[in-house]
Amino acid sequence: MSSIKGPAPSPTKLDGSSLRVAIVHSRWNKEVIDALVTGTIAKLKEHGVKEHNIIVQSVPGSYELPLACSKVISGSRVQAGATATDLLGGLSFGTNTPRSSTPALGSSSSTAVASMPSQPVDAVIAIGVLIKGSTMHFEYICESVSHGLMRVTIDTGVPVIFGVLTALTDEQALERAGIGRGGNKGHNHGEDWASAAVEMASSSRRWTEGKF
Ligand code: RBF
172 Cβ neighbours under 8 A, 6+ residues apart:
165
Alpha-carbon separation of residue 27 from 18, 37, 64, 80, 98 (angstroms): 29, 11, 10, 28, 22
Q: Give the relative orientation of helices 137-156 and 65-87 as an angle to the nearest 10 degrees.
A: 30
Residue of 24, 27, 63, 139 to test ligand 1 pocket, by largest number of atoms within 8 Å of CB = 63
**Per-residue model confidence as pLDDT tens digits over 154-204:** 999 999 999 999 999 999 999 999 999 988 999 999 999 999 999 999 999
Name the pTM for this structure: 0.87
Asked whether the beta carbons of 21 and 122 are under 8 A apart, the reply is yes
Domain 21-88+104-208 indexed as CATH 3.40.50.960: yes
The pLDDT, as a whole number, for residue 126 is 98
State in Å, rounded, how far the first CA of the chain is from the last one.
38
From 24, 26, 28, give the residue whose CB has the most ligand 1 atoms within 8 Å, as the site to mutate.
28
Size of the chain in residues:
212
Those residues with Cβ within 8 angstroms of residue 208's Cβ, 6 or more apart along the chain or in another chain: none
Rounded to the nearest angstrom, the distance between the alpha carbon of 72 and the centre of ligand 1 is 21
**One-letter identity of residue 3:** S
| Closest residue CA from atom 22 of ligand 1 | 61
Q: Is 52 known to be catalytic?
A: no
Chunked into runs of 10 residues, the chain (212 residues) has average pLDDT values of 81 94 98 98 98 98 98 96 74 45 40 66 98 94 98 98 97 97 94 98 96 94
DSSP 52: G
Q: Residue ranges per domain, the chain?
A: 21-88+104-208
Residue 138 alpha carbon to ligand 1 centre in Å = 8
The whole-number pLDDT of residue 99 equals: 41
Q: Please report the pLDDT score of residue 91 as a whole number.
A: 52
Contact of 24 with 65, CB cutoff 8 Å: yes
Which residue's CA is the nearest one to ligand 1's atom 13?
Answer: 137
Return d(Cα 32, Cα 37) in angstroms, integer: 9
Task: Please give all residues whose beta carbon lies within 6 A of any atom in ligand 1, as ranges.
Answer: 26, 28-29, 60-64, 128-131, 133, 135, 137, 141
Q: Report the separation in Å between the CA atom of 61 and the middle of ligand 1, taken as the mean of its atom positions.
A: 5
